[in-house]
Structure 1
Amino acid sequence: MQRRLRVMSSPPGLLRQKSSLGVGAQLLIRVGLLLFLLAFIVLVHWIERDSFRDNLDGEMSFADIIYFTMISATTTGYGDIVPVTERARLFDALIVTPVRIFLLLILAGTAYTFVIKRSWNKWVMKRLQERLNGHTIVAGFGNSGSEAVGELIQRGFDPRRIVVLDQDEKALERAEALGCAVMQADATRDATMESVQVTQARSVIISAGRDDTSILICLTARHLAPHVPISVVVRAGDNEFPAKAAGATTVINPVSFSGLLLAGSTEGAGIADYMADLASASGRVRLHEREIEAFEVGKSLKDAAVGMGLRVLRNGESIGWWEGGAAELVAGDRIIEIIPDHLFPRIPRI
């Protein structure tokens, strides 16, 4: 049976849109708001200057007004200048005190947004990058990408060793809930692939939703990491060759695979079920590809296979179990075998 990744449903969030204002513009708006509020308090204090008493010299100059405004807007004051009328005291209690709290919130929020949060995120990202080695990069967390991640986790792959790249924040939230590392970025850019240590990756899975985007991501990953296995999903059959030319190790066409299952089902329901069984982590048997060990050199495919040997991959050539080349394995051979689920090698967690 085909396994599907299930994500817990959640109530709809707030309707929002990414701000078109840059960091500098947002900072200027906050500074402008602070200055406007301070200017308003200074104006009222200056108009009502006769309602205040300076215990130092008894006179309220404009400098005294600015000083009192800044002190009262940021602290509770020192008592050297005090409001003496009821109207001035009410203004300070009902207007200046809420403004003081608001100013502190703006200052704290600005410091967190532009300094603390950025510094923290950079530190966390650096720590994650240092740990990235032997990981799997998944570019695109749509239907196929999420299915692939779910299957990897079901097979025992540590989700902390899966990095999901997508520009959809909702998709990244689902991936993060599974324990994956996520990055909201354009996977077609070199800087993005370099930041997730593509050269140290165990494999790359690409399912961007559009064939042209997937092929461009494949080109980016391949020129940065010439030896990393790359699997690409394409929807159109005539895009399989461009994907191969872009450097894809494996090209998957879901439509073609569905056709294989449908065609197999006409010969009997058991064929389609067995094919799905082989492809799923929840099945009784698994397909497994591996490079042979040194002690297996010279053995036949039948003797070397843990389960049932099907094929030998040698120098780009596929050799069936019934062909003469499978009678004696050589160094560098890879074999494809069917293994019972309980014997399938589990990927160690970090």
Structure 2
Amino acid sequence: MARRKALRLQRHRTLRRRLSLPVWADLFIRLGAALALVFLVVFIHWWDRSGLVDNLDGHVSFLDVVYFTMISITTTGFGDIAPVSDRARLVEAVIVTPIRFAVLFIFVGTAYNFVIKRSWEKFRMARIQDRLTNHVVVLGFGVSGSEAVAELIARGTDADCIVVMDTSEDRLSLAEEMGCNVINADATRDESLQDVRINEASTVLVSAGRDDSSILIVLTVRHLAPDVPITVVVRAPDNELLARQAGATNVINPVRFTGLLLAGSASGMHTADYLADLASVTGRVQLLEREARPEDIGKGLRELGSGSMGLRLYRNGEAFGYWEPEGQRIEKGDMIVVIRPTPECGPGII
């Protein structure tokens, strides 16, 4: 994974920024503004043509005014036509010169935006894409998405390894302040997901704010990345099954989880506090998942030692608790859910 300096691109380190106007419209506006300023200078020179002198024939025609305007704005200046009166020179210094700078800035800015900048962005985006691998992609940076990113960073995930996709520049600014890579794009579009190398991601977190949008994003991600784990947030219980059918690996219902915390607090004043402690890296204990290690093979979940305790194992897609027979003997390939104290609160390894 590339380091932060290698991933910087513009203010938001965006992989691609969508334009609010089509390219042709933006170009038309710029050229229109430049031509309007040129016509304004032509009008000013024609109005003050008595202060100009033509060193060839002594007569200043409209064509001469147009000619003088163009060589004046482009700072060419052949000297065949020149301002001679005090008023004409004052007009050139006070009015025409600022307009000349404005026209030049428009043309230079247009060349930069449509040629230099776009070529540079295309080159840097290709470099970023080459380095995007084994990263975390967060699709939607609302309340759930921002909390998830903050927790990932607190748990030790490098912010350079997180790519946030959203359509709100304000949200992307917050993600950038956290050190993440950001992209202003629609997560339901194939090309947007391909821009962040979705098939090379280690995991995808989806929190679009609406269940229908989140499920559509899951469908799109699963189509492009059949093997990448996907976690999605849905709020309606009826949509949990739909999210799993769409291809979500994990489905989280914050409303249901809140209900569990409320019910837990009703059965004991410290139950909800302990559940929140488990979910956060800032608590005294941590709930983590890992693959079974060679030293775990043959042991029970309650026999892991090293300050950690196994709670559940997953084998062939089925879950077994520490009290079940399958939980009494760990096998190669099992995924284990363990609880351990945080390093600040006591010894223990995962």
- Normalising by structure 1, we get a TM-score of 0.86
1:24 to 2:24 alignment: yes
Distance 1:305 1:260, change over 3 A: farther
- Once the two structures are superposed, residues 161-189 of structure 1 have per-residue CA deviations (whole angstroms, 9 ceiling, x without a partner) of 11111111111111111111111111011
1:231 Cα deviation from its structure 2 partner: 0.6
Aligned match of 2:226: 226
Aligned match of 2:239: 239
Q: What's the secondary structure of 1:269's corresponding residue? A: coil
Aligned match of 2:337: 336
Do the aligned partners of 1:305 and 1:337 also contact (CA within 8 Å) in 2? Answer: no
Q: Distance in 1 between matches of 2:239 and 2:189?
A: 21
1:63 Cα deviation from its structure 2 partner: 5.2
1:322 Cα deviation from its structure 2 partner: 1.6
Q: Distance in 2 between matches of 1:345 and 1:160?
A: 25
1:65 Cα deviation from its structure 2 partner: 3.4
Distance 1:294 1:113, change over 3 A: same
Matched residue type, 1:278: L
Aligned match of 1:199: 199
Q: What's the secondary structure of 2:270's corresponding residue? A: helix
1:341 Cα deviation from its structure 2 partner: 1.0
Q: Distance in 1 between matches of 2:51 and 2:110?
A: 34
1:276 Cα deviation from its structure 2 partner: 0.7
1:151 to 2:151 alignment: yes
Q: What's the secondary structure of 1:228's corresponding residue? A: coil
Farther-moved stretch of structure 1 (110-119 vs 324-333):
110-119
Q: Distance in 2 between matches of 1:20 and 1:317?
A: 49
Q: What's the secondary structure of 1:164's corresponding residue? A: strand
1:107 Cα deviation from its structure 2 partner: 1.8
Do the aligned partners of 2:313 and 2:321 also contact (CA within 8 Å) in 1? Answer: yes
1:316 to 2:317 alignment: yes
Do the aligned partners of 1:301 and 1:309 also contact (CA within 8 Å) in 2? Answer: yes
Q: What's the secondary structure of 2:231's corresponding residue? A: strand
1:64 Cα deviation from its structure 2 partner: 4.2
Distance 1:57 1:142, change over 3 A: same
Q: What's the secondary structure of 2:313's corresponding residue? A: strand
1:142 Cα deviation from its structure 2 partner: 0.8
Do the aligned partners of 1:140 and 1:206 also contact (CA within 8 Å) in 2? Answer: yes
Superposition map of 1:187-336 within 5 A: 187-304=187-304, 306=306, 307-336=308-337
Aligned match of 2:4: none
Do the aligned partners of 2:320 and 2:326 also contact (CA within 8 Å) in 1? Answer: yes
Do the aligned partners of 2:52 and 2:85 also contact (CA within 8 Å) in 1? Answer: yes
Distance 1:202 1:326, change over 3 A: same
Do the aligned partners of 2:303 and 2:309 also contact (CA within 8 Å) in 1? Answer: no
1:280 Cα deviation from its structure 2 partner: 0.5
Q: Distance in 1 between matches of 2:333 and 2:224?
A: 24
Do the aligned partners of 1:204 and 1:231 also contact (CA within 8 Å) in 2? Answer: yes
1:344 Cα deviation from its structure 2 partner: 7.6
Do the aligned partners of 1:286 and 1:344 also contact (CA within 8 Å) in 2? Answer: no
Q: What's the secondary structure of 1:288's corresponding residue? A: strand
Q: Distance in 2 between matches of 1:275 and 1:20?
A: 45
Q: Distance in 2 between matches of 1:20 and 1:191?
A: 18
Aligned match of 1:174: 174
Aligned match of 2:65: 65
Distance 1:20 1:136, change over 3 A: closer
- Gaps of at least 5 residues in structure 2 are 1-17
- Gaps of at least 5 residues in structure 1 are 1-17
1:42 to 2:37 alignment: no
Q: Distance in 2 between matches of 1:181 and 1:320?
A: 39
1:226 Cα deviation from its structure 2 partner: 1.3
Matched residue type, 2:38: L
Q: What's the secondary structure of 2:199's corresponding residue? A: helix
Do the aligned partners of 1:42 and 1:65 also contact (CA within 8 Å) in 2? Answer: yes
- Once the two structures are superposed, residues 248-278 of structure 1 have per-residue CA deviations (whole angstroms, 9 ceiling, x without a partner) of 1111011111111111112212211111110
Do the aligned partners of 1:299 and 1:328 also contact (CA within 8 Å) in 2? Answer: yes
Q: Distance in 2 between matches of 1:91 and 1:44?
A: 8
Aligned match of 2:15: none
Do the aligned partners of 2:300 and 2:322 also contact (CA within 8 Å) in 1? Answer: no
Q: What's the secondary structure of 1:110's corresponding residue? A: helix
Distance 1:190 1:345, change over 3 A: farther
Q: Distance in 2 between matches of 1:75 and 1:345?
A: 72
Matched residue type, 1:318: A
Q: Distance in 2 between matches of 1:318 and 1:19?
A: 48
Aligned residue pairs total: 329
Superposition map of 1:69-218 within 5 A: 69-75=69-75, 77-218=77-218
Matched residue type, 2:126: K
Farther-moved stretch of structure 1 (292-301 vs 84-93):
292-301
Q: Distance in 2 between matches of 1:129 and 1:83?
A: 57
